[in-house]
Amino acid sequence: MAKTTSKTPALLSGGNPQIAKADGDAPVQAYIAAMPGWKSDAGRRLDALIVRTVPGVRKAVKWNSPLYGIEGQGWFLGIHCFTKYIKVAFFRGAALRPVPPVSSKDKDTRYFHIHEGDELDEALVARWIGQASALPGWVP
């Protein structure tokens, strides 16, 4: 049987889309489109908020997660799907004010989770995004 390039990406554990590692907006949009159910709409809203807050933001998918960064400064934010929520990671989140609510094993990283039906506080998230994008990012 012939391989097609338009097949729907596989969903990994927790419903996280399996998207090939690549730089640019296209793989991030493919990831968002493949997010299951309500998560896809939430992903589109979050991506649009990031782009509005940080014009020229650098995007990539690595380790099956969209990453957002500043050229030459590293990555400031990542997204990952889990069964019941979307995890938004701020790689230097401990330096943000107010500090995002969910701690990490890494002392610098902080998270917030988006659950189905949550009302996203776009003003707060935009403040976090703006602050995070001004800090030195995570460089793997």
User: Is pLDDT at 106 greater than 70 in this prediction?
Assistant: yes
pLDDT digits (tens, 9 = 90+) for 25-69: 999 999 999 999 999 999 999 999 999 999 999 999 999 999 999
Q: Is residue 17 part of a domain?
A: no
Mean pLDDT over the full length of the chain: 93
Question: What does the pLDDT read at residue 8?
Answer: 76
What total number of domains does the chain contain?
1
Mean pLDDT, residues 91-117: 97
Cβ-defined contacts of 111-116 (< 8 Å, 24+): 111/87, 112/88, 113/85, 113/86, 113/87, 113/88, 114/42, 114/46, 114/85, 114/86, 114/88, 115/84, 115/85, 116/37, 116/38, 116/84, 116/85
pLDDT value of position 7: 67
User: For position 1, what pLDDT does the model report?
Assistant: 42
Whole-model pTM?
0.92
Residue 92 lies in a domain: yes
Domain housing 96: 38-134
The CATH number of the domain holding residue 44 is 3.90.1150.200
In a domain, 78, yes or no: yes
How many angstroms separate the CA atoms of 88 and 102, rounded? 10
